[in-house]
């Protein structure tokens, strides 16, 4: 706020308060013998212009005195910050501090515990579930069963690795899964053949002429990420194509679409909004979802 605006608001507020005082006390009495009326007439009924009863008058006075006190104590007069130094962010920080102090013992209990052990603690898992519901369920589903394009976290199949460290890294820093578009490289027939070949790896489609034609292209292009045997590469986030788990669906057209146009999978980083204690609990919760290895 520029200082001229600030002064404008201060002057306006002061004039309003003083004006209210003057208005209030200017109308306090009326001449003894006058039958002053307000001039309002409703159906022939007129209204006396009587002063306010004392209790009412003093209620107004109290509000005015309160206003002055409030404007001194709290921000309100232009850019004057108030004597108490109150601010919205200050209040927010105070509430956060209170919450931190309150939940600190709960988090401290699990901080030194290895993730694998936390994943077996029912109390910790309930907390983990609540953190999951607030932050992860939007994409992965409340039951962590995933959705088209968002991995199922309960099937034991990991694109970026299922160790505690890998999951923690995923949560903290996010992941960028990039399948490059190969439409230009392969041509439409090449796409069809490569898709057939990819689908035979998991037995989703039986082997045939098209898959045989696609094998060479797969070995030369796709294998650099998905591996010669199609088992994928967790370092690159290249999915295993042999396990009949399909992130975007296993229909032929869907797979062809993926080869032609590529896929961009994005897991956002949560290191910025969840502190280490919550990431710890969340890691344990996510690990607890997988079938025992």
- Can you give the binding site for other proteins, defined by CB under 8 A? 32-33, 50-51, 53-54, 129-130, 133, 137-139, 141-148, 155, 244-245, 249
- Taking the complex as a whole, the smallest distance from the CB of residue 292 to other proteins amounts, in Å, to 17
Residue closer to other proteins by CB (options 44, 53) is 53
| Min CB(6)–other proteins separation in Å | 31
Query: Cα dist. 176→123, 146, 187, 262 in Å?
Result: 32, 17, 26, 13
Pick 217 or 267: Cβ nearer other proteins = 267
248 vs 199: CA distance, rounded Å: 13
Q: Which residue lies nearer to other proteins by CB, 191 or 246?
A: 246
CB of 244 to other proteins, least distance (A): 6
CB of 77 to other proteins, least distance (A): 25
157 or 215: whose CB is closer to other proteins? 157
Closest CA to 242 of 197, 286, 194, 272: 197
Largest distance between two CA atoms of the chain: 114
Q: What is the DSSP string of 70-136?
A: HHHHSS-STT---TT---HHHHHHHHHHHHHHHHHHHHHHHHTS-HHHHTT-HHHHHHHHHHHHHHT
| Least spacing, CB of residue 243 vs other proteins, in Å | 9
Of the pair 26, 220, the CB lying nearest other proteins is at: 26
What letter does residue 38 receive in the DSSP assignment? E
């Amino acid at each position: 706020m520029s200082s001229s605006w600030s002064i404008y608001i201060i002057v306006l507020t002061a004039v309003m308060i003083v004006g209210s005082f003057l208005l209030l006390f200017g109308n306090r009495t009326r001449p003894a013998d006058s039958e002053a009326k307000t001039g309002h007439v409703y159906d022939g009924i007129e209204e006396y212009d009587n002063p306010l009863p004392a209790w009412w008058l003093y209620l107004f006075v109290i509000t005015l005195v309160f206003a002055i006190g409030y404007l001194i104590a709290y921000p309100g007069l232009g850019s004057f910050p108030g004597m108490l130094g109150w601010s919205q962010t200050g209040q927010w920080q105070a509430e956060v501090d209170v919450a931190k102090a309150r939940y600190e013992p709960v988090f401290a209990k699990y901080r030194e515990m290895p993730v694998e052990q936390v994943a077996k603690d029912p109390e910790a898992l309930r907390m983990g579930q609540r953190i999951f519901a607030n932050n992860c369920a939007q994409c992965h589903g409340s039951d962590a069963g995933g959705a088209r394009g968002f991995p199922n976290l309960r099937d034991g199949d990991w694109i970026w690795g299922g160790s505690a460290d890998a999951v923690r890294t995923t949560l903290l820093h996010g992941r960028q899964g990039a399948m490059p578009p190969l439409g230009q490289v392969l041509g439409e027939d090449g796409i069809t053949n490569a898709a057939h070949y990819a689908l035979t790896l998991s037995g989703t489609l039986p082997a045939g002429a098209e898959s045989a034609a696609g094998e060479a292209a797969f070995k030369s292009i796709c294998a650099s990420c998905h591996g010669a045997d199609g088992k994928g590469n967790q370092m690159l986030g290249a999915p295993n194509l042999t396990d009949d788990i399909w992130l975007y669906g296993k229909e032929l057209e869907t797979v062809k679409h993926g080869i032609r146009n590529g896929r961009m999978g994005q897991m956002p980083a949560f290191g910025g909004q969840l502190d280490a204690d919550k990431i710890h609990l969340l890691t344990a919760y996510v690990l607890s979802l997988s079938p025992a290895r």
